[in-house]
Amino acid sequence: MTKYPVRYVQTLRGGTAHVILFSDGKEYVVKWFDTKKGREKEVVNEYLIGKLAELLSLPVIPFDLVYIPEDFIKKTPELQSTKHNYSSGYQYGCVFIKNSTVFENVRENPPTKTDVKNRDMLAGITVFDQWVNNSDRGTMNVILENLSDGGYYVHMIDHGRVFPGRYQWSAQTLSETPVYNYHWPFYKWAFSLLDDHKELTSFIEKIVKLPNKSIYQVIESIPKEWNVKTKDRDALYKFLLEQKNKLPEIVERIIQHHSNPK
């Protein structure tokens, strides 16, 4: 282990994510594998999306697999729960961004093009979400980090509800026709900040050119103790490759929808 938990800090909204200080001096938001019934693949999805987004240089918060030993759980009252399962082992942990706000808090008067320092990434987030069939890019699932110059840096967070089947995807659900969500307020805002539509279409090419081998390696890197069956891994790999071919049509729908709002 390169780092280990030192001190419990706080519980976050929802009650299952916890901020913990680690030996590297950083505070991490830790989400446990299989902590809540019906959400067996939530942490799997967080990990997969983080790894895929990193390959495409998208703004996921820096994350890692963090090991939580049994003795730390036993001495932490907040992790003694009859409602949720907090077991020892490898969990998902991303750096806790303190000086920030969620998009919900600024949606009525959102940042302008010059306010957002990584504005060029917004088109990529929009297209990427369609590729992985994200159904939950709500106003609480985008963080705006406050920068010293008064601007913002956008971070994408909370990726439990992706792929057909969401928290419980399987080979069977991945064979179903995806339902796409591109009407959310975040996408409307992101679209309004584009220089032109080519920012969206050019990101399609970036995803298409992502080596299939790299996608396969990400899926194969899922920790074995997270119990993702081989047939489900194979089905996910097939799904992501097929989704590449569907992106031009989906992005055209996004352009039409936000160019001609009802």
Q: Which residues contact 8 (CB under 8 A, 6 or more apart)?
A: 18, 19, 20, 21, 76, 78, 79
Residue 262, pLDDT above cutoff 80: no
Give tens-digit pLDDT for 189-202: 999 999 999 999 99
**Residue 15, by phi and psi: left (phi above 0), alpha (psi -120 to 50) or beta?**
left
Determine the average pLDDT of the residues in 158-178. Answer: 97
Q: Where are the domains of the chain?
A: 5-95, 100-259
Contacts of residue 145, Cβ cutoff 8 Å, sequence gap at least 6:
97, 99, 100, 152, 153, 154, 155
Is a pLDDT exceeding 90 seen at residue 138?
A: yes
Tell me which of 9-18, 46-55, 60-69, 115-124 is least confident. 9-18
- Give the model confidence (pLDDT) of 91-100 as tens digits: 999 999 999 9
The rounded distance, in Å, linking the Cα atoms of 40 and 83 is 15
- What is the chain's mean pLDDT, rounded? 95
Write down the pLDDT at residue 2: 77
What is the structure's pLDDT at 1?
A: 56
pLDDT of residue 261: 63
CA 205 to chain centre: 21
Overall average pLDDT of the 57-70 stretch = 96
More confident residue, 40 or 260: 40
Sign of CA pseudo-dihedral 39, 60, 145, 67: positive
Average pLDDT over residues 140-166: 96
Q: For residues 173 and 196, what is the distance between their CA atoms, to the nearest angstrom?
A: 35
Q: Greater confidence, 233 or 83?
A: 233
Mean per-residue pLDDT, 144-161: 96
The confidence score (pLDDT) of residue 84 equals 86
- Asked whether the beta carbons of 185 and 107 are under 8 A apart, the reply is yes
Do strands 27-31 and 89-95 pair parallel, antiparallel, or not at all (unpaired)?
A: antiparallel
Task: Give the model's pLDDT for residue 34.
Answer: 85
Q: Which of 175, 212, 200 is nearest to 259 (CA)?
A: 200
Q: Report the CATH fold assignment for 100-259.
A: 1.10.1070
